[in-house]
Amino acid sequence: MQKPSSPFLASIFEFMVTRQYAQKTIESYIYWIRMFIRFHHNQHPTNMGNIEVEQFLSFLANDRTVAVKTQALALNALAFLYKDIIAVPLTLTLNFQRSLKQRKLPTVLTPTEIRDLLAVLPAHLRLPAQLMYGSGLRVMEAMRLRVQDVDFHYLSLMIWNGKGGKHRRVTLAPELVPALQEQIRQVTFYHTQDLEHPNYAGVWMPFALAVKTPEAPKSILWQFLFAARSLSHDPENGALRRHHIDPSSIQKAVKQAAREAGISKNVSCHTLRHSFATHLLSRGTDIRTVQEQLGHSDVKTTQIYTHVLQHGANGVRSPFSDL
């Protein structure tokens, strides 16, 4: 993500990067803060407050008819702006029109469509897609996997600082073990070469771990599982590192593979996660177990997948079928 050209937005960007906010959070917060400023004819947020925020959120509900979660995300961005940047928190009793538009049901592929999709993916991008379906991972959770996060003994993956900063352990299909072992061999090959480079600074480390464990950045255990093919400079400090592959490459590849496989659905990386949850439930897996695998805080979020399985309205058999 590029730093915004606006000095004010650039200062917010730097604030969030320094505090290790997730890239998607930075992008979405900058987006909503920018939209809020433009909605109010480029007034500076320090000259606005509760009333202007209420007007903007009501506009999103009434004119843009955004979904409930979209309006909530915009509110979170503005609450962050006024609490952490301007240091004048918004009131807890904001009065605005609540969005009534509910989220759409998720797109889910059949097992046959999953097989067809995976079969036409480029070989070097197939394994992350297999993990998104086989373990229910978000795309960034797959990209951020480190070598040590793969537990072959217990057939599981450790997901650290997922959405909401939560950690969880997820299932690993035994069929993927050979491919994962080969992937680790490839990462080890890269790592051996990197250590010979005089300017190699080691892999990027989260939070203060690089200070607490100075040997970790150059340890094979901490290397990204899906490492990029070449070294690059860290945009934060210019250090030479090997980062993970760009998530946009797998996102584009999944969409292209869906077209090549003749799948007439709106397919994305998240479709693989949706399919994981739906297929688990269809096999009789307890919804609480699925909730834990997905890392949902509230089981209500997981329950949306039960609607996909309810053919017709609440599973009611149509009388037309008896004609």
Whether residue 273 lies in the annotated active site: yes
Place of tokens 């995300």: 73
Give the active site residue among 163, 168, 169, 255.
163
H/E stretch holding 69 reads: helix 68-80
Of 203, 251, 240, 207, the closest CA to residue 224 belongs to 203
Give the active site residue among 138, 242, 243, 244.
138
Alpha-carbon gap, residue 160 to 173, rounded angstroms: 19
Alpha-carbon gap, residue 210 to 190, rounded angstroms: 20
Whether residue 167 lies in the annotated active site: no
DSSP state of 85: I
Give the active site residue among 191, 243, 273, 279.
273
H/E stretch holding 159 reads: strand 156-159
The residue type at 111: P
Give the active site residue among 24, 169, 255, 270.
270
Whether residue 29 lies in the annotated active site: no
Whether residue 229 lies in the annotated active site: no
Of 54, 74, 62, 53, the closest CA to residue 100 belongs to 62
Residue 233, SS3? strand
H/E stretch holding 50 reads: helix 50-62
Whether residue 305 lies in the annotated active site: yes
Whether residue 243 lies in the annotated active site: no
Could you give the angle at which helices 68-80 and 50-62 cross, rounded to 10 degrees? 160
Would you please indicate which residues are annotated as catalytic (active-site) residues? 138, 163, 270, 273, 296, 305
